[in-house]
Amino acid sequence: MNKTIYLDNGATTKVDPEVVKAMELYHSKVYGNASSTHHKGIEAKRALEESRHTIAKSISAKDNEIIFTSGGTESNNLAIKGIAFANKHKGNHIIISKIEHDCVLNTCKYLEKNGWKITYCPVDKKGLISPVFLEKLIKEDTILVSIIHGNNEIGTIQDLDAIYKVCKKHKVLFHTDACQSYTKTNLSTKQADLITLNAHKIHGPKGVGALYIKKGTKIQNITHGGGQERNFRSGTENIPGIVGFAKSVKIARSSHIKKMTELRDYFIEELLKIPDTRLNGPKGDKRLCNNVNVSFRYIEGESIGSFLDAKGICTSTGSACSSHTLEPSHVIMALEKNPERAHGSLRFSISKFTTKQELDFALKEIKATIKKLRKISPLTKMMKKVL
């Protein structure tokens, strides 16, 4: 196999060496339990609260509005179930989009089976929510709207300001999953009542995330234990992970966004030169700086990905959390009910470590792979007969 060219940063990212270095101390020397009252525990507690302050400051939150979790999935579960359980006396209606991450979709399917009503808001052909249409879906018993900020598959960035304005007008709580957009876009507590964050999409460690909960929000805990994290998330805190999370936020730079945006636009332009190739999601500033998702006609994204993997190029057909299913991407299907487009889609997600040389090598192999697969594709032969 050739040198690995990693273009699956939407699934997870390489942990930055600076983050690894920052975490080492908390594995070997400052290893106390943050709930212990001796000096080792106090050291750990200090690191915990300093990290909390870093995360809070990054989105203009108060320190006590940040709850550490094991990652995006747990944060989304806590946000949605916590609001649902705590506010069921007010209503049982929740609105989400059709392009949410699987952990939000499956959380809502669980609630639906247990008496809650879920409305799935459609998106346009670029994956964008219409705040005007969203407002029409809000009812008297609506208690929560949850809309993903930067979509994990097609990179669409929603207008949180407009959505939150609608929710506040109707006194409905608003939650956003910002795992993919955190540190890559402007994000603040003025845009939502609850915000999901995580570390491993931003060159931090796996297994750690956070949930911002606006002060005064009525929410119920969904795990029970020793009462850590203001009783919202019991369990011994992952201090090394939390320290690493904070470090990854500290070293994030606007220059990284600029570099990724330039590489993204170059890659999209070159990919679209391949005949019968279509971009999924919007162009420009409404797209995550590191996301490229295209559909290749007549062939399946899964096949392309396998051929590229043999060349050392890592890509994805969608969310890593649902990559083992043969079902077409629900996100692409939400843009346009076209199974061929959904099955032919491939996601390339870059990082601050990605180079133009890597993209040029990938482009060469992609073009060769598309040519080879289309030659043997029964769909290509069928279309030639029709034409």
Answer with the one of 201, 222, 250 that is the final residue of a domain: 250
**pLDDT tens per residue, range 28-51:** 999 999 999 999 999 999 999 999
pTM, rounded to two decimals: 0.95
The domain that holds 348 is classified in CATH as 3.90.1150.10
Answer whether residue 386 shows pLDDT above 50.
no
* Same domain as 209, residue 268: no
Structural domain harbouring 345: 5-13+253-386
Residue 3's pLDDT is 87
* Same domain as 34, residue 163: yes
Residue 377's pLDDT is 75
Which of 103, 179, 314, 321 is flagged as catalytic? 321
167 catalytic? Reply is no
What confidence category does residue 318 fall into, taking pLDDT thresholds of 50, 70 and 90?
low
Q: When comparing pLDDT for 260 and 317, which is higher?
A: 260
| Average pLDDT of the residues in 235-261 | 98
**Average pLDDT in the chain:** 95
Answer with the one of 205, 232, 250 that is the final residue of a domain: 250
* Same domain as 273, residue 213: no
* Same domain as 334, residue 289: yes
Answer with the one of 190, 218, 250 that is the final residue of a domain: 250
* Same domain as 208, residue 347: no
Residue 327's pLDDT is 81
Residue 380's pLDDT is 55
| Average pLDDT of the residues in 45-73 | 98
* Same domain as 237, residue 317: no
Q: Choose among 294, 297, 275: nearest CA to 379.
A: 297
Answer whether residue 307 shows pLDDT above 60.
yes
Q: When comparing pLDDT for 42 and 326, which is higher?
A: 42
* Same domain as 341, residue 243: no
Rounded to whole angstroms, the Cα distance separating 250 from 252 reads: 6
- Percent over 90 (pLDDT), the chain: 92
The domain that holds 76 is classified in CATH as 3.40.640.10
**pLDDT tens per residue, range 87-146:** 999 999 999 999 999 999 999 999 999 999 999 999 999 999 999 999 999 999 999 999
Rounded to whole angstroms, the Cα distance separating 182 from 90 reads: 31
